[in-house]
Structures are given as C-alpha cells and as structure tokens.
Structure 1
C-alpha cells in the first residue's frame, strides 16, 4: 500500500511538473509575440456591411499577441479625429474615393495601412428596372423632365433615397454637386438620414409596386435584396457630365446603357486606415495589415447572411470572420508568419 501510494504521488508530481513546463513554455512564447503587453483600440463606421473586415484584422492582431479592445461604432469624421490623435489605432472602414477629402485632411497623421478590398463595391445612381425599360430611362439627367421625375415621387419631383447624414462631407458634396450640375435641383429631392431606414423604406415602396430612385452601392444587404440587373439598373452619365471619382466600369452587370462600359459609377476600394506613429512603432501589425485581402464576393455572401435571423449581431459577424479565417487558413497563417518576422 505504501509503495502504491508513493507511485501515485510520483505520478502526480510528474504530471504537475509537465504542466508547469507547458505553461511556462506557452507564457514564454506569448511574451515573445510582437504585440505582447500592447493594447489596440479601433473603430468601425456606422454602416455594418464591412464590420467583418475589422474583425478579421482584430483576430489577426490577437494572434500576434495584441490585446484588442472590441470596436467602437463612430461616424466618419469622428473616426479620423480619433485616428489622428491616437485615441484609436485603426479602422477597416476607410473608403476611397468616398473619403478622399477627409483622408487628405488628416494625411499628416493617418495613413493607408492596407488595401483590404479592391474592388470593394460599385457606387452610383439606380432606378427600378421596370421604369427604365418602360420609359427608356438610361441617364441620370433624364430625370430633369418633371414627367419622368414624378414617377419616383409626386408633383413632378423625384425622391432620391440613400444619403446617410453620418457619411463624410465629401460624399454628400459629390451627390448634391451632381444634382446641381445636371440641373436636377428642381426635379429631385435628395433624402438624407439613416441609410438603413431610407433603404428599408425604398424597398417597401418597390415591393408595393412603386418606382424607386436610389443612391447606393453594391454589394450591401439592400442591393442584394433589390439586385442590380434583376430589380434595379445603374443610370449612366453622358460623356462630359462626370466629376472627379466618376469612372467607367467595364462589363458592369445591370447597367441601363448597352455597351462595354457603364460611365457614371464609382469603383470603391476599402483601406485599413491607421495612425502613422502607431504603424511605425508596430512593424509586425503594420506588415500584417498590409497583407490582408478580403474579396468582394466573400463580403457579398456575408452581407446576405446578415439578413438571416440573429446573423446581424456582433457575435454572429465575428463568428463569420473566424470561419472565414479557417477557410483561408494557409493564406492567413502566411500573413501572420510574415508579420512575426518584422
């Protein structure tokens, strides 16, 4: 009995020693990670269609040892103010050319750390496909005609939905500038407010059989409910009607004008924007962020999934990011390995 007791004691001590060795090894490894002992804060935009990108960055930085605080949800201008003063270190919701003016304003302290999604989306003016075909509406400037404008509103004036009050001043100025330059001020009312509420209202009107005129982008949860090419069409500008940021996209599905390109829409790129000083002091984080790529089609799938019950919560979006990382494990691990070498 005494011998058995001693043997059990020795086995217990051996197991405890092994556990201490493993724990000590893990602790030593954690302390060697480039982000060990460092806390990172970040923010995301008030729209939720690319919150998944922020979580992918967050999870990667955590792999590098950083303690990443769950994101704050802020308007564009406040995000850049906070980035500039190092109150937050990064955002995955930097969008060019939509935010070009605010990016230029803060270029001394805030940098494009990584091109995370390109192309990220197509932005422009859309109407329902039925109205386009029935009334031969292909160009935005045709809504200068009160008879056509009245289709999308009342009293000879169209309702254009989709401009969020929290978006950058440059975005609002671009849209309102288009309306003024094309002579549409008397026939188009640009409705501003919560993008989600405006688009939900537009979808309700469409489903009730009413024509709709929108300023929006693809992909997001709303332009996947009303899909360009199926429910909606992109309106073009005529040559010479454009402005900075207006481009010609080749082979764009759902363009009202037949031909190889659709002039009058904008191809967007999502950037991870970060505090310059933080990037210089954290080369591993900077390297990782510069490598991350998230395809537009993957975001379209995730945005569609967000329409399912319970899939729009932070927990669900973060879980999708975790699943995406697992599905791209080889590529993701290589980003981490390259970052650890910095």
Structure 2
C-alpha cells in the first residue's frame, strides 16, 4: 500500500512539474520571446506604440525599447527581419515608401484609427459664420483677407508647415493651382510656436486660419464644430503623388466640416500597424492583439495635448498608458483574453 501511494505521489509530482509551464504559458504565451518594435519620428504617434508594448509585455513578451526611424528606413528594416512591427503606418500615404518586396515579407494589420489620418485647413467658427467661408476661394474676397491679415501685407495669414515637411509642398501646390498666391500668406515658422500664437489670437477673439492633421493636440484644444471648422479646397486638383488616391481626398462624416462631404485637398489615411510576416506567423497571440487594437482619435488627441503641455517624458507616457487602460479595462481585458486564446 505504501509503495502504491509513493508511486501515485511520484506520478502526481511529475505531472505538476511538467504541467506548470503549460499553465504559465497560457497566461504568458510570449514568455521567452524578445520583440523588436520601432516608432515614427513624430511624437503624436508615441502613445499607441506605448500601449501596444504594454499589452505585449502583459502577454509575456520582452519588448525592446522602440527605435525611432524615418518611414522608408523602417519599412526596409522590417522586410529584412531586423524589426518586428510599428504602429505608425499611414496608408495610402506611405504606399510609395514601401520596398518592392514588402508584400512578400510584411503586411498591414488591424486599424489603429480607420480614416484617422485627416489633414486640411481650419478656420475659427465665428469667422466662418460671419464671412460665410466655405472654401479657400473665399480668401480671395477683400473683407476676408483683411480679417485674417496679421502683418498688414494685404494677404490672409495661414499658420502652415515649416520648410521640409511634406505638407509644405502640398500647401504650396494648393496656393498655385487655386491662384491664391496673392491672397494667402503661408507662415512657415515652427509649427508649435505658430499654433501657440493662433490659439492666443483665438482666445483674444481674433479670427484664425491654420493647417493641421489628426491625431494632434491642436484639434483637442480647438475642437472642430465648436471652435473651428474644416473648410474645402475649391476642387480636387491632386499633386502627382496624391493622384493614386484621389478618391480619398474628399471625406464624408467629418465632424466640424462646413459641408458633408468636405474636399480636404489632402489624402485621408488609415493609421495601421505594420508587421513582419514571420513575426506574425510565429506569434499568434501578438498577431491577434495587433488585429484587435484600436484607439479613438479623441483619446490620442487628448494624450497629445498633455504631451504638448509638457508631459512628454517616457515616464509621463507610461503614466498616460496606465490611465488609459484603467478607463478602458473591460476592453483591455477582452483583447488580452482573445490574444491568449489565439495561442492555445
């Protein structure tokens, strides 16, 4: 009897030793695996990367510090297998920057923010209503130019993009093709300084006119539909680079637009995660989370506003992630549960 008991105890002990790692791995399917993420050079995209890294860490992965890379360099490194993923793909805007072998080695997965990458021109709502502004063409009217002329050169001042930004070229294209070079003055100083000045002018009751994109802190501080309105370009006349996505330069359902649909004059992009194929095939839990993860634009804009106000250290961003998870705990738990199930 004693021998039988000892055998049973021995077999049970062996079972426990061999089974315990299996139980642990069901909760931490990424245990023992190191991931190599990257992130874009614009800080409005840091938040989503930090959230994804936190999730993958909770799934057991060791996530290396993300490398800050320019778009073409990241996409090339991704296809080489040097990196695993990033959360900052803008499509179709980035399509022209993908290597020829991209589809063989990598893929776009999930939607961080579908149609979230808006760009365009905004005007203070009071001025839109006072001067009946619908499009850039309205800035040819003398009373409109005069209202927005800050430096008294006879042109409406537009808070635009600094030299070297992609949007600088598109704005220059617009002023040329819509014959607005004598009517609008694009102010190309530091964008943050320019927008700080615009917000100050708005608070002082002055009309403002600026370019922006989403997600961005600007549309959190100046809310479309309440403080400002998106205005049209006169008609869609794309640059050569925009021509392949001309259908995405007009958008319906944009909150705070003067018309629906609104002709933005910029390509509306989906913000998507981009990942290496082998990484996804080898890590079903990570793949499932990346497929599921999405982030409301309002939440990104709010976090970007906190960064703009000074909360921009790595520690600050981690605090923002913790607070966001706490506010969205049920959704967070569900995403992680589905990710764990995918690995079983």
Flag structure 1 segments of 5+ consecutive residues without an equivalent. Answer: 1-20
Q: Is the 8 A contact 2:111 2:273 kept in 1?
A: yes
Pairing of 1:115-264 with structure 2 (within 5 A): 115-120=111-116, 122-145=118-141, 148-149=144-145, 151-153=148-150, 154-163=152-161, 169=166, 171-192=167-188, 194-218=190-214, 220-238=216-234, 244=246, 245-250=248-253, 252-257=254-259, 260-264=260-264
TM-score when normalising by structure 2: 0.75
**How far apart in 1 are the matches of 2:223 and 2:119?**
13
Pairing of 1:1-342 with structure 2 (within 5 A): 25=20, 29=24, 33-103=28-98, 107-108=102-103, 109-120=105-116, 122-145=118-141, 148-149=144-145, 151-153=148-150, 154-163=152-161, 169=166, 171-192=167-188, 194-218=190-214, 220-238=216-234, 244=246, 245-250=248-253, 252-257=254-259, 260-264=260-264, 267-306=268-307, 311-340=311-340, 341-342=342-343
Q: Partner of 1:13 in structure 2?
A: none
Question: Does 146-155 or 107-116 show the bigger shift?
Answer: 146-155
Q: Is the 8 A contact 2:160 2:168 kept in 1?
A: no
**How far apart in 2 are the matches of 1:106 and 1:195?**
36
**How far apart in 2 are the matches of 1:114 and 1:194?**
33
Q: What SS class does the counterpart of residue 91 from structure 1 fall into? A: strand
Relative to structure 1, is the Cα distance of residues 203 and 114 closer, same or farther in structure 2, using a 3 angstrom cutoff?
Answer: same
**How far apart in 2 are the matches of 1:173 and 1:325?**
39
Flag structure 2 segments of 5+ consecutive residues without an equivalent. Answer: 1-15
**How far apart in 2 are the matches of 1:36 and 1:70?**
17
Q: Is the 8 A contact 2:37 2:65 kept in 1?
A: yes
Question: What are the superposed Cα offsets for residues 47-101 of structure 1, whole Å, 9 maximum, x if unpaired?
Answer: 3334221112101111222211223334444443443444432221222344343
**How far apart in 2 are the matches of 1:247 and 1:70?**
38
Query: Number of residue pairs matched?
Result: 315
Q: Is the 8 A contact 1:62 1:68 kept in 2?
A: yes
Q: Is the 8 A contact 2:289 2:336 kept in 1?
A: yes
**How far apart in 1 are the matches of 2:320 and 2:208?**
32
Q: Is the 8 A contact 1:152 1:211 kept in 2?
A: no
Q: What SS class does the counterpart of residue 113 from structure 2 fall into? A: strand
Deviation at 1:165, TM superposition (A): 5.7
Question: What are the superposed Cα offsets for residues 313-332 of structure 1, whole Å, 9 maximum, x if unpaired?
Answer: 32222222223334433433
Question: What are the superposed Cα offsets for residues 300-323 of structure 1, whole Å, 9 maximum, x if unpaired?
Answer: 443455466x63332222222223
Deviation at 1:172, TM superposition (A): 4.8
Q: Is the 8 A contact 1:161 1:191 kept in 2?
A: yes
Q: What SS class does the counterpart of residue 339 from structure 1 fall into? A: helix
Relative to structure 1, is the Cα distance of residues 238 and 162 closer, same or farther in structure 2, using a 3 angstrom cutoff?
Answer: closer
Question: Does 131-140 or 171-180 show the bigger shift?
Answer: 171-180
More strand by share: 1
